[in-house]
Structure 1
């Protein structure tokens, strides 16, 4: 492909910033996010609602809402810069290089068109004839475990799990290298969740897909991903391999997220929620955005935002791992 660097990462996000316009002000929803995604790798982006996960994903795909703008940074595919700020310029890249499995299939699918036609549409937009597109759509339905003759159904005639499989088929229509899953199992019951996750894992291995999974559920991450990035208030606060983060989480927010997962082996029946509420875009705390909820907060946390730096196996943005004077480490909470 013209302009691509075969030695570059499949996807590189460098200093990405996204702002939302509200009442004459620009509110920063994604702040200086940087990471890489390699071919065949599965990476999760985890955080509470409002942390900026979906905004990050939609910026990468060039699908931001009209009141959102890219405020800085860039996204590169195989070393070539993507025009994520320009919807029209992104159309040749969308679905062919990077595609999206949306959260609510019933909302994403057109209720008045049969699913075979909807799966074939991105194929035809990228150069296939109608006959080729429909043939590809039938092939994809079989690939995701739906008989091809169900292609004549409308979305409302399918179960929630089958609709989500249709969304996966559509995402694979143009053979992209990267699939973004925007909480693809959230609207499903636990049985369908397990089936869809199993399907994503199998397809990733079979097609050598890179998967960027957006979720708030760390239990999903443990079963499907190689690496996890934790996001809070628009910034990455920790990343590393799934095994190491689960074994030795460094950021207090990551530790609390893991501790909030019920351990069924211990017969736990009471959830351990994180105290307080996530900050809003209108009221972002000074310093480290997590410090009002953090049990390990120090004086410096309220005044200075920590940088995302290397710490052992990965990166962490926390003053607990910065080279600070001991006087600055005086506890806030007594």
Structure 2
């Protein structure tokens, strides 16, 4: 079997990394959903909603230390509901991973491999990521921990330097607030905190649970800060009129980076190199936790075989998806559904856990 023990800090690295990948994916939708530069309000509201559920769900997960949310639901809910929850997370992880790979492959083709078929890029990513995911949670957590240090932080630094020549008045006017747009975009911002869904499975691997509650809250706060910072940077760089038309805002930002004394001619390629490391790590993480969700749902003791079963499924789904510039308008509906269920399932577990605790007392 896989080695299961990881530290709380490695767990937080996994959660922040995955969340950042989906925050970049959802950014164009948030930019276009809200009228005016106040999409950061949706991010704050989404983060507060998740923080409110962290303490009770963490308590339930600590009561069932060795179980994922699928295992916990089998203790608290009827078997068919528990199986449905497991099936939902399998579908969620596969769909999310295929979207991430499609977006990632298109960016690589656009900047680096102009003449390479996108299907070849996708299968290369899949084969490499499956090998890493097969190594287990300890290897993946170490990769995530290192990636945060050597890729995510420098990548964010490159983006921050892009704000050197920017119009900071683009963050105004804040008032009047587009309340309807802010409310409508909350599910999209919730989907950007994708680490929250991963937390329901990764928590069972953490070796020191006494720090989990505090660090899980910190994960949401750190992700919120990165989310808001990136949103504001794009706004001040391009303004709302131009920002709403961007398919890949971060790539567009890096085209205009001017770092004093930087010896690379193209900072865009440097930033893309960091992004490749970050996204590849996220694909590995999602493949591993899809394997775990299948394993928990089917109640098997297999040792990673389901990782290889994912390869043809993910390849077909990612290759069949249209270009991201065509796909973004259709991502909103599944984002609403997934965000709602990602929140509803833990709330249901919390309710049943408290009810069982009262009955026991």
TM category, shorter = under 0.3
Give the strand-richer structure, 1 or 2.
1
Higher relative helix content? 2
Q: Which has the higher contact order (CA 8 A, sep 6+)?
A: 2
Give TM-score, length-normalised by structure 2: 0.25
